[in-house]
């Protein structure tokens, strides 16, 4: 069977299974999740063996160490997957929830019901834990899923797919409720993102190159984020005792994450006080600073200092590098952010009430924060229980996407025989 036929078959099966997944009650969906968790615990040895085959092949193919680390299924990773499934079980059932049922002058009562989106396609790198996390979130939210993980994880993903199928079957749900694409053909992705008749939304998780390709080619809507160019603005009225740890944490807690600060903005009034103190903190972590003219002067003598260019304001370094700019005040800060931010997460540090409210209101990003590190932009930290991804889009869902993002609201009408006159 060629890859197009294969993917269309997967799609048809997913569409059919989606009806049964949506119809199932919450107890049934939770039962499937618990059965999958138990099966993973039972078969941990087999999973490690499958993972070892993937790792051997990946090492032979010279996969980069960082990617090998993501591919590896450690004992801790298995425990985290299993715990993750049980945490999803404990979350409230989002499906079928009704809200705002109001009577109208005509006599009908109108409200909304939360319902699954249908079929979710998830495209991700060679990280076996994502297979289980994504399956768990889709099952809990009453959706069918088509999972396409990086080909380096194929043996482990196959083993996990069998356990997910076993759990679905055990709960009386269709095995096709979650399908793992069992092909390393890269063309599978191209088909998956162009079959809107079978797939309702694509959630791509991967590097910028993948996302840009999908944006050009996809005809299925996506919940995606392209990059994380996050800002911290230290206002003239900032409490320095808050500003220093926030600006330090937002940059250095982890360099490779999308909610890491990439540009620091500092109000002119406070820059002479705050920049030298921050420099001392960054120096200990060997952070390179790319500064505008005013900041350069204040950072004179810093060991890793360079003049910022226009490119620096648009850079997602994902590395111990930080762009630094002195701005006149909140207007200039908001203007810079709304021009250069990737609309992911931006924070202000201030004790000024009006500046705080203006920043919250006027910065057009998925997460906007006052006096907190940008690193908090995360489904777990926000209390969503789990996240399928982070959205930089403006429609449907912004920021961390949990179970609610995998559902939408339809209208329900309770009538008593009303007709329109």
Q: Does 338 bind a second copy (CB under 8 A)?
A: yes
Residues in region 2-31 near a second copy by CB under 8 A: 19, 22-23
From CA 13, how far away is CA 21, in angstroms rounded? 12
User: Using CB under 8 A, which of 47, 160, 193, 246 touches a second copy?
Assistant: 246
Q: Rg of the Cα trace of the chain? A: 24
Nearest distance from residue 245's CB to a second copy, in Å? 5
User: Using CB under 8 A, which of 63, 115, 122, 188 touches a second copy?
Assistant: 115
Query: Cβ neighbours of residue 72 under 8 Å, at least 6 residues apart?
Result: 51, 55
Select the span of 54-62, 125-133, 303-311, 408-416 touching a second copy (CB under 8 A).
408-416
Q: Does 76 bind a second copy (CB under 8 A)?
A: no
Q: Does 362 bind a second copy (CB under 8 A)?
A: yes
Nearest distance from residue 272's CB to a second copy, in Å? 22
Q: Does 106 bind a second copy (CB under 8 A)?
A: yes
Longest dimension (CA), the chain: 80
Q: Does 297 bind a second copy (CB under 8 A)?
A: no
Residues in region 148-167 near a second copy by CB under 8 A: none
**What is the b/e burial string over 267-281, where b = at least 16 CB atoms within 10 angstroms of the residue's CB?**
beebbeebbeebbeb
Question: Residue 341 has what DSSP assignment?
Answer: -
Query: Cβ neighbours of residue 300 under 8 Å, at least 6 residues apart?
Result: none
Select the span of 79-87, 154-162, 236-244, 304-312 touching a second copy (CB under 8 A).
236-244
DSSP bridge partners of 347: 232, 369
Dihedral in degrees, nearest 10, Cα atoms 308, 312, 316, 318:
-20
From CA 234, how far away is CA 243, in angstroms rounded? 6
Q: Does 36 bind a second copy (CB under 8 A)?
A: no
Q: Which positions touch a second copy (CB under 8 A)?
A: 19, 22-23, 96, 102, 104, 106, 108, 110, 113, 115, 117-118, 200-201, 221, 239, 241-242, 245-246, 248-250, 253, 338, 347, 360-362, 364-373, 375-377, 381-383, 393-400, 408-420
């Amino acid at each position: 069977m060629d890859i197009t036929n294969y993917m269309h078959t997967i799609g048809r099966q997913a569409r059919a299974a989606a009806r049964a997944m949506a119809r199932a009650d919450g107890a049934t969906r939770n039962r499937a999740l618990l059965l999958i968790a138990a099966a993973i615990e039972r078969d941990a040895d087999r999973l490690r063996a499958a993972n070892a085959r993937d790792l051997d092949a990946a090492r032979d193919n010279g996969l980069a160490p960082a990617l090998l680390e993501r591919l590896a299924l450690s004992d801790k990773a298995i425990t985290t997957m299993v715990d993750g499934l049980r945490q999803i079980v404990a979350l409230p059932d989002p499906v079928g929830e009704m809200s705002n049922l109001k009577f109208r002058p005509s006599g009908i009562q109108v409200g909304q019901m939360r319902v699954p989106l249908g079929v979710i396609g998830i495209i991700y790198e060679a990280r076996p834990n994502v297979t289980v996390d994504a399956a768990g979130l889709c099952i809990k939210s009453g959706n069918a899923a088509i999972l396409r993980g990086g080909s380096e994880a194929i043996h482990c993903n196959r083993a996990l797919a069998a356990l997910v199928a076993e759990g679905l079957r055990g709960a009386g749900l269709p095995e096709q409720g979650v399908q793992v694409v069992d092909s390393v053909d890269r063309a599978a992705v191209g088909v998956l993102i162009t079959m809107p008749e079978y797939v309702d939304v694509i959630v791509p998780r991967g590097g910028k190159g993948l996302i840009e390709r999908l944006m050009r080619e996809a005809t299925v809507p996506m919940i995606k984020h392209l990059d994380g160019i996050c800002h911290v603005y230290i206002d003239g009225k900032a409490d320095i005792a808050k500003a220093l740890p926030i600006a330090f944490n937002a940059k250095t807690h982890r360099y490779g994450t999308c909610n890491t600060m990439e540009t620091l903005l500092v109000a002119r009034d406070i820059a002479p006080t705050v920049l030298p103190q921050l420099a001392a903190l960054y120096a200990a972590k060997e952070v390179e600073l790319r500064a505008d003219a005013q900041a350069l002067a204040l950072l004179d003598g810093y060991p890793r200092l360079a003049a910022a260019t226009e490119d620096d304001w648009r850079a997602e370094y994902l590395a111990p590098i930080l762009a630094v700019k002195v701005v006149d005040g909140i207007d200039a800060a908001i203007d810079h952010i709304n021009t250069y931010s990737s609309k992911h997460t931006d924070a202000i540090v201030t004790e000024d009430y009006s500046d705080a409210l203006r920043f919250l209101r006027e910065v057009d990003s998925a997460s906007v924060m006052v006096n907190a590190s940008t690193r908090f932009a995360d489904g777990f930290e926000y209390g969503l229980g789990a996240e399928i991804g982070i959205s930089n889009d403006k429609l449907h869902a912004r920021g961390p996407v949990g179970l609610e993002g995998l559902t939408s609201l339809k209208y329900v009408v309770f009538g008593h025989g009303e007709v329109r006159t």
